[in-house]
């Protein structure tokens, strides 16, 4: 896919806005790639060239970043991209079964869209939601405590245009391109909506408060803090 002159004209001022948020232009590369992805649905060779031009980088520099991060796609995927957690806890709770079943049910391979272009599937290493395992994300919104049957119902709803609502977080789904625009740093109107914490997460918080626990309690916390400090020092202060 080639970026048209009209697309470049739309992207250029938004790219300048993104770059202006950082003290060094190169730091804007990740959101700039999301911006390109919001236009194309993936990052094409033209998209790579656009980012390189905006930041004064080589196309090889940009390609190295694109190929490292799995959130950037090099070919078209579905309008609704389904990520199934297959890390340890989700896997043993059914994530592996969900992933295998969805691929067979949809007749697609990883990152391959259905014929109608509506849905694609990939496995992800962790959705950071272990208390709701097995967890699936659609365009980075949570769908908790799924089974193969519920996952089939989910993708059927996405393909049919049904009103599909995430378990937590945003009160409504956005498309893959719209999600990329948000990740580029242009949020929609949903930041304060939806339920961000459910009963499994809040239960632990209530126990901690009842016991009077604080983040600094205990030798384990002290050891963890020391390790984090060392990690930050090794990476120039970045967590």
Instruction: Identify whether residues 85 and 179 lie together within a single domain.
Output: yes
Instruction: Identify whether residues 35 and 106 lie together within a single domain.
Output: no
Instruction: Identify whether residues 106 and 151 lie together within a single domain.
Output: yes
Does residue 31 lie within any of the structural domains? yes
Instruction: Identify whether residues 117 and 58 lie together within a single domain.
Output: no
Instruction: Identify whether residues 56 and 86 lie together within a single domain.
Output: no
Does residue 190 lie within any of the structural domains? no
Find, among 59, 85, 204, 98, the residue nearest to 142 by Cα: 85
- Look at the block and give the residue holding tokens 């059927």: 156
Note the pLDDT of residue 47. Answer: 96
Note the pLDDT of residue 1. Answer: 60
Q: What is the CATH number of the domain that holds 20?
A: 1.10.10
Please count the helices (runs of H) and the strands (runs of E) in the chain. 10, 4
Note the pLDDT of residue 218. Answer: 61
Distance between CA atoms of residues 46 and 31, nearest Å: 16
Range of the domain at 11: 5-68
Instruction: Identify whether residues 178 and 203 lie together within a single domain.
Output: no
Does residue 188 lie within any of the structural domains? no
Instruction: Identify whether residues 61 and 84 lie together within a single domain.
Output: no
Residue 237 in tokens? 């202060």
Instruction: Say what the pTM is.
Output: 0.83
In total, how many domains does the chain have?
A: 3
Instruction: Identify whether residues 169 and 93 lie together within a single domain.
Output: yes
Does residue 97 lie within any of the structural domains? yes
Distance between CA atoms of residues 143 and 208, nearest Å: 26
Output the CA–CA distances (angstroms, integers) from residue 230 to 3, 37, 131, 226, 234, in the order listed: 44, 35, 29, 6, 6
Instruction: Identify whether residues 117 and 165 lie together within a single domain.
Output: yes
Distance between CA atoms of residues 141 and 178, nearest Å: 12
Instruction: Identify whether residues 122 and 217 lie together within a single domain.
Output: no
Does residue 73 lie within any of the structural domains? no
Note the pLDDT of residue 122. Answer: 97
Does residue 193 lie within any of the structural domains? no
Note the pLDDT of residue 228. Answer: 37
Could you list the pLDDT tens digit for every one of the 239 residues in the chain?
678 889 999 999 999 999 999 999 999 999 999 999 999 999 999 999 999 999 999 999 999 999 999 999 999 999 999 999 999 999 999 999 999 999 999 999 999 999 999 999 999 989 889 989 999 999 999 999 999 999 999 999 999 999 999 998 888 999 999 999 999 999 998 877 777 777 888 888 899 999 999 887 764 444 444 333 333 333 333 33
Instruction: Identify whether residues 100 and 134 lie together within a single domain.
Output: yes
Does residue 121 lie within any of the structural domains? yes
Does residue 161 lie within any of the structural domains? yes
Instruction: Identify whether residues 139 and 95 lie together within a single domain.
Output: yes
């Amino acid at each position: 896919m080639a970026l048209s002159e009209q697309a470049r004209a739309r992207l250029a001022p938004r790219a300048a806005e993104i770059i202006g948020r950082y003290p060094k232009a190169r730091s804007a590369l990740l959101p700039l790639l999301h911006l390109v992805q919001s236009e194309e649905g993936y990052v094409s060779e033209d998209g790579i060239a656009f980012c390189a031009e905006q930041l004064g980088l080589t196309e090889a520099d940009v390609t190295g970043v694109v190929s490292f991060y799995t959130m950037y796609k090099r070919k078209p995927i579905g309008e609704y991209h389904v990520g199934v957690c297959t890390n340890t806890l989700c896997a043993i709770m059914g994530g592996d079964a969900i992933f295998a079943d969805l691929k067979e049910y949809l007749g697609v391979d990883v990152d391959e869209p259905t014929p109608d272009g509506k849905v694609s599937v990939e496995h992800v290493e962790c959705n950071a939601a272990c208390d709701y395992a097995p967890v699936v994300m659609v365009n980075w919104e949570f769908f908790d405590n799924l089974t193969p049957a519920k996952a089939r119902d989910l993708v059927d709803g996405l393909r049919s245009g049904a009103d599909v609502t995430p378990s937590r977080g945003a009160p409504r789904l956005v498309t893959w391109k719209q999600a990329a625009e948000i990740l580029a740093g242009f949020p929609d109107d949903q930041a304060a909506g939806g339920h961000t914490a459910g009963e499994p997460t809040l239960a632990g918080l209530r126990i901690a408060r009842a016991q009077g626990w604080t983040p600094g309690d205990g030798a384990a916390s002290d050891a963890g803090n020391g390790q984090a400090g060392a990690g930050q020092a090794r990476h120039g202060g970045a967590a």
